[in-house]
Amino acid sequence: MTDVELREQVRSKYAEAASSGACGSDCGCGPEFYEGEAVGGILSLGCGNPVAVADLHEGETVLDLGSGGGLDVILSAKRVGPTGIAWGLDMTEEMLALARANAAERGATNAHFLRGEIEDIPLPAESVDVVISNCVINLSTDKPAVFRELARVLKPGGRLGISDVVAEDRLTPADRAERGSYVGCIAGALSKTEYEQCLAEAGFEDVSVEFTYEAAEGMHGAIVKALKPASAAKRTLPVVTSKAGCC
């Protein structure tokens, strides 16, 4: 499949999920990742709880990549409070409509939703304190572009709190494809070293990729964290030893 065909397959699948209210993801879904959170009635698609990972604070501006039905944006809006802003970005009109309805129903007036692609985020440079994402980056066909955009929109000192599916380094791209489909969040997943290298090449520091559960043999739900340096003078990129390249 071409990149355009893969993107359309992803868009079509999540449009169907928005209309049907069914998850159908290989990587995981449902409220089990949100123990103690008020998530009833919101379509849950993902492989973790990035809102908890990001440790959001009052007054911050947060961006959720691939915001789906709006669950993580609504939870983020509550965390950052009335002086903060929670942005959701999605390329699927059906998901955006569902997310806006969910936010309105729950009175999340500081939750806002944008149509766009995660490789070309429609927000100004250095406008966001925190970027979160829930099992979406693995669906991109141009992951280096995604990481460059994250570095662009984050303020100096900003941070990432991402839940994603990540492969063990021993698995080749062909091995990953054998374990699940691209649209099901498996075939397009990066390896742990590739993820670390992508973030390092985009300029992030203090990168960590921590496996949390097994989604398929050798494939794991993972927590990914990283920081954008507070200033260019403090930027120190990790030493990269992999010969595989970023993606």
Per-residue pLDDT averaged across 99-116, rounded? Answer: 96
Would you state the pLDDT for residue 45?
A: 76
φ/ψ of 242, rounded to 5, equals: -70, 140
Can you tell me the distance from the alpha carbon of 159 to that of 153, in angstroms, rounded to the nearest whole number? 11
Tell me the percentage of the chain whose pLDDT exceeds 90.
Answer: 67
In a domain, 32, yes or no: yes
In a domain, 209, yes or no: yes
In a domain, 218, yes or no: yes
In a domain, 239, yes or no: no
**Among 64, 157, 149, residue whose Cα is nearest residue 108:** 64
Can you tell me the distance from the alpha carbon of 202 to that of 147, in angstroms, rounded to the nearest whole number? 6
In a domain, 220, yes or no: yes
* CATH number of the domain residue 59 falls in: 3.40.50.150
Q: How many structural domains compose the chain? A: 1
> pTM of this prediction?
0.88
In a domain, 164, yes or no: yes
Residue 65 structural domain: 3-234
In a domain, 162, yes or no: yes
Would you state the pLDDT for residue 6?
A: 77
φ/ψ of 155, rounded to 5, equals: -70, 155
Q: Label residue 170 by pLDDT band (50, 70, 90).
A: very high
Per-residue pLDDT averaged across 130-143, rounded? Answer: 94
Q: Label residue 236 by pLDDT band (50, 70, 90).
A: very low
Here the tokens at position 210 are 């921590």
In a domain, 244, yes or no: no
Here the tokens at position 172 are 């080749």
